[in-house]
Amino acid sequence: MTTDLATRCYREFMEAHAKEMAAENESLRRRLAERNCLYKGQPFPTFMMPHFISAAQSRLLRRACQDLISAVEKVTDLYFSDPAFAESFGLSPGERVLMEIPPRLERKIVLCRPDGFLADANLSFIEINADSPAGMVDGDILSEEFSKLPPLVEVARRFEVEPERMKERYLEVLLSKWREFGGTGSPQIGIVDWDEVQPRTEFYLLAEFFTAHGCPAQVGDPRALEYRQGRLWLKDFRIDLMVRRVITRELAEKLDEVKGFLDAARAGAVCIVNPFRSKLASFKGIFRVLTDPAHRALFNRDELAVIERHIPWTRQVVPGRVDFHGESLDMERLLAVHKRRLVLKPTHGYAGKDVFVGLDATDAEWSEVCSRSLSGKTNYIVQEFVPIPEAEFPAFAPDLVFVPKKVNINPFVLDGAYAGCMSRVSDSSIINLARGGGQQPTMVWRERSPAA
């Protein structure tokens, strides 16, 4: 990954003021803690440098996200129009119950976060988090606090720097969905997930933001919700619009514990964002459909272009022959011969759980998961491995050093349009906070015009 001018400027400033940087890093951690930007009770894990992207890369992300989500919406439509195709989603009985609840919103995917890799002009998406994506509020706080750091002040003096901030746009879209739902005035908002889910600090930060902008908000557990007098209630707090953070699969396993929630949803008494049907877009097999030539007729020219340029080859792991870049192979042989070029992901997994990267997995691990998948004991998709870009980020050991990290890009898409971005870094090929990674603010930089 090429080092851009903004990154170089930032690093040179840090190196020239190395003795002061450890104190700046501690100050950053203190400010994050003061703002309750926490992960597992500690200041949010981050390395003291933004992930800079160019204006051209930002434009690429915007267009690709728009066309990708347009294509994905079409695939999710097949669940309702083609009963045979619906079976391929592999939903549980409880999930099927939730899919039948009409959302009263045109889009099934109001908020989503495609995850991928961006290296220079090369962009690849590897999955979509559309059920209950997180990270916007923490991302905005990181952007605000990083903007106070002396190295970034210096970069902003020399270049135009645009932090990616998202929560204002999120509220705009929620209010738009509220009006589409038929609501009037300012809704009361419930942010709903299991009480035992951690971390929860982002929920409360979001509730504070909504309340400060005229929409009273509270955080609650779906089991505590009651449907009475034609409305949904959390104790004595009426919920008009729900920010659904609870994962659909988990909810489907406890339908008998959330009767009030379900009754209100069926009655159309609450606007739910995301609708339950957004779960269909988080199905890892969605990329199997996108990249299968048999489904090309579904998509328009722009959608086909984003699929061909930005989506890696993906198939369901089932016995039989498969075409891999012009090579016809039995699936079992493909998995054995091309292990180092492949990744295995559970069809309905999230947060990087039970993902196996061929380059990193032992032969025994790989063989076991392949065997279980081919025998039908587990459901996996196989995806072509995308080379992971790396960049150096600052660390203190205790003196300032720069260490290589793997970097992914996590754009947020709201109502079908790009709304901002965050980035994550890690030593592991599976990049997330649960595996010791860090979240970085993404900032768009460009050269200042001569007049500036």
Integer Cα distance of 352 and 349 in angstroms = 7
Integer Cα distance of 288 and 293 in angstroms = 10
CATH of the domain at 145: 3.40.50.1760
Residues 221 and 329 in one domain: no
Domain boundary among 361, 384, 407: 384
Q: What is the pLDDT of residues 60-75, one digit of tens each?
A: 999 999 999 999 999 9
Tell me whether residue 170 is in a domain.
yes
Tell me whether residue 452 is in a domain.
no
Tell me whether residue 300 is in a domain.
no
**Token couple for 140:** 């905005």
User: Domain span at residue 207?
Assistant: 5-282+389-447
What is the pLDDT, as a whole number, of residue 1?
Answer: 59
Task: Give alpha helix (H) positions in 214-343.
Answer: 248-252, 259-267, 279-282, 286-291, 301-310, 331-337
Is 93 exposed, middle or buried (CB count within 10 Å of its CB: 0-12, 13-18, 19+)? exposed
Residues 124 and 247 in one domain: yes
Residues 147 and 206 in one domain: yes
Q: Which strand (E) or helix (H) includes residue 374?
A: helix 363-374
Residues 171 and 248 in one domain: yes
Residues 122 and 14 in one domain: yes
Cβ within 8 Å of residue 318, ≥6 positions away: 331, 374
Tell me whether residue 290 is in a domain.
no
| Mean pLDDT, the chain cut into blocks of 10 residues (452 residues total) | 86 97 97 93 94 96 98 95 88 96 94 96 95 91 97 97 90 98 98 89 95 98 97 98 96 97 98 96 90 94 98 95 94 96 87 84 95 91 96 94 96 96 92 83 89 55
Residues 29 and 79 in one domain: yes
Residues 435 and 380 in one domain: no
Residues 217 and 344 in one domain: no
Tell me whether residue 312 is in a domain.
no
Residues 346 and 435 in one domain: no
Tokens 């901002």 -> residue: 420
Q: What is the pLDDT of residues 388-405, one digit of tens each?
A: 999 999 999 889 999 999
Q: Which long-range contacts (CB under 8 A, 24 or more apart) does 445-450 make?
A: 445/4, 445/5, 445/6, 445/52, 445/53, 445/54, 445/55, 445/155, 445/159, 445/160, 445/161, 445/162, 446/54, 446/55, 446/159, 446/160, 446/162, 447/5, 447/159, 447/160, 448/158, 448/159, 448/160
Domain boundary among 384, 415, 435: 384
Q: What is the pLDDT of residues 146-204, one digit of tens each?
A: 999 999 999 999 999 988 789 999 999 999 999 999 999 999 999 999 999 877 889 99
Cis peptide, bond prior to residue 398, ω within 30 of zero: yes
Q: How many domains does the chain have?
A: 2
Tell me whether residue 298 is in a domain.
no
What is the pLDDT, as a whole number, of residue 399?
Answer: 93
Tell me whether residue 291 is in a domain.
no
Residues 278 and 379 in one domain: no
Tell me whether residue 40 is in a domain.
yes
Residues 208 and 326 in one domain: no
Cis peptide, bond prior to residue 133, ω within 30 of zero: no
What is the amino acid identity at position 403?
A: V
Integer Cα distance of 150 and 243 in angstroms = 36
Looking at every residue in the chain, the average pLDDT score rounds to 94
CATH of the domain at 329: 3.30.1490.270
Domain boundary among 364, 384, 404: 384
Q: How many residues does the chain have?
A: 452
What is the pLDDT, as a whole number, of residue 302?
Answer: 98
For the chain, what is the total number of helices (H) and then of strands (E)?
A: 16, 23
Residues 412 and 330 in one domain: no
Integer Cα distance of 452 and 449 in angstroms = 5
